[in-house]
C-alpha cells in the first residue's frame, strides 16, 4: 500500500459510481499506461505497467527489495499480502532458484491475479488463500526471506501487527532469515509496532523511509545480517546492480545511516525521532 499522487481522470460522478459498484471490494483502474489496484481513491495498493509486468513501479516495493543486500540468494521466500503481486513477480523473474509462497486472505484480491500477470501456481510459486498470521504460525525455521505487506480497506491488518505475530515471524525464519515489513507512515500506532518488532528480534531492526512515499520499511534479522559494514553493503550493492534494476547503493547508504545513528521512524538526519 502506498500514497503516491493519484492518476485518476474520471469526473466526480464517474468516481462515485465506481466506488458504489465496488462496495468495499478491491477494484482496478487503467490509466496513464498503468493498471492499479485500490480499495478506495486515497491509496494505491499496487501498480503495474502492462508492458513490463515484473517492473517494480511503486517505490516502497523497490525499497523492500533492499533485502537483497542482506540475503542476495534466498531459497525460500514467503510474502503475506498479494496485492498486485509486484514483489512476488519480481522475485519469480530475478530469483529463479527461489521457491515462493504467498498468503492472501482476500479471495477478491486473488481473483484479480490474471489482470496483474501474476504467474500461475507451480512447483516453485504458489498463492494460498489463507490468513497471513495463521499461515506464518504454521511455519518453523523454513523461510529465508519474509515480506509482510498486508493491508485491507481499513489500512494495516491488525493481526499482522501483534507481538504474537512478530514472535511467529521470528520463529518461522531460518537461522539467517530476514523479515521485511511495509508500514504506513500515517499509522499512529507505528511506534508500538516497531517496539514489538524489537522485542521479537532482540533489537536487530533497522527502519528506513520508502523511496517515494511516507511509508516506512522495517528490516528485522534473526541472525547478524544487519551488522554488515557499510563498505560491504556498498560492494554487494554494486555487484547486485549488474543483475537487478534497483538503486541498491542508495538503499545501502540509508540502511547504514539508520543503523549508525539510531533513526527510529525516519532516515533523515534532520529529523528528531530516534530509537530509544
Distance CA 120, CA 148 (A): 21
* Cα–Cα distance list, 98 to 33, 44, 93, 240 (Å): 30, 28, 10, 16
State how far the Cα of 157 lies from the Cα of 274, in Å rounded to an integer.
25
- Cα separation, 184 vs 188, whole angstroms: 9
- Grid coordinates in use for 115? 489482470
- Spatial separation of the C-alpha atoms in residues 197 and 157, rounded to whole Å: 15
Which residue in this structure is represented by grid cell 479471495?
107
Burial class of residue 79, CB neighbours in 10 A (0-12, 13-18, 19+) = buried
Annotation marks residue 149 as catalytic: yes
The secondary structure of 118-145, three-state, reads CCCCCCCEEEEECCHHHHHHCCCCCEEE
- Residue in 54, 144, 149, 152 annotated catalytic: 149
Contacts (Cβ under 8 Å, ≥6 apart) of 13: none
Beta strands in 110-221 (DSSP E): 125-129, 143-148, 151-152, 155-156, 173-183, 205-209, 216-221
Strand partners of residue 35: 30, 48
- In angstroms, rounded to a whole number, what is the distance separating the alpha carbons of residues 257 and 50? 36
The residues annotated as belonging to the active site are 149
Amino acid at each position: 500500500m502506498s500514497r503516491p499522487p493519484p492518476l485518476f481522470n474520471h469526473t466526480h460522478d464517474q468516481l462515485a459510481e465506481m466506488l458504489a459498484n465496488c462496495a468495499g471490494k478491491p477494484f482496478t483502474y487503467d490509466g496513464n499506461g498503468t493498471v492499479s489496484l485500490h480499495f478506495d481513491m486515497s491509496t494505491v495498493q499496487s501498480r503495474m505497467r502492462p508492458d513490463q509486468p515484473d517492473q517494480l513501479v511503486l517505490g516502497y516495493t523497490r525499497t523492500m527489495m533492499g533485502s537483497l543486500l542482506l540475503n542476495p540468494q534466498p531459497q525460500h521466500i514467503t510474502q503475506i499480502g498479494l496485492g498486485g503481486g509486484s514483489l512476488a513477480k519480481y522475485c519469480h523473474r530475478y530469483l529463479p532458484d527461489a521457491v515462493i509462497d504467498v498468503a492472501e486472505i482476500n479471495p477478491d484480491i486473488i481473483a484479480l491475479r490474471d489482470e496483474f500477470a501474476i504467474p500461475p501456481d507451480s512447483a516453485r510459486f504458489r498463492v494460498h488463500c489463507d490468513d497471513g498470521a495463521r499461515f506464518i504460525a504454521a511455519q518453523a525455521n523454513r523461510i529465508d526471506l519474509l515480506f509482510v505487506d498486508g493491508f485491507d480497506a481499513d489500512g494495516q491488518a491488525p493481526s499482522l501487527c501483534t507481538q504474537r505475530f512478530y514472535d511467529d515471524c521470528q520463529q518461522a525464519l531460518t537461522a539467517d532469515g530476514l523479515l521485511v515489513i511495509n508500514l504506513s507512515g500515517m499509522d499512529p500506532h507505528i511506534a508500538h509496532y516497531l517496539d514489538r518488532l524489537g522485542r521479537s528480534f532482540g533489537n536487530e531492526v533497522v527502519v528506513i523511509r520508502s523511496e517515494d512515499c511516507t511509508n516506512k520499511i522495517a528490516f528485522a534479522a534473526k541472525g547478524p545480517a544487519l551488522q554488515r559494514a557499510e563498505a560491504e553493503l556498498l560492494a554487494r550493492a554494486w555487484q547486485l546492480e549488474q543483475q537487478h534494476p534497483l538503486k541498491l547503493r542508495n538503499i545501502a547508504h540509508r540502511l547504514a545511516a539508520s543503523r549508525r545513528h539510531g533513526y527510529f521512524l525516519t532516515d533523515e538526519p534532520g529529523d528528531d525521532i530516534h530509537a530509544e
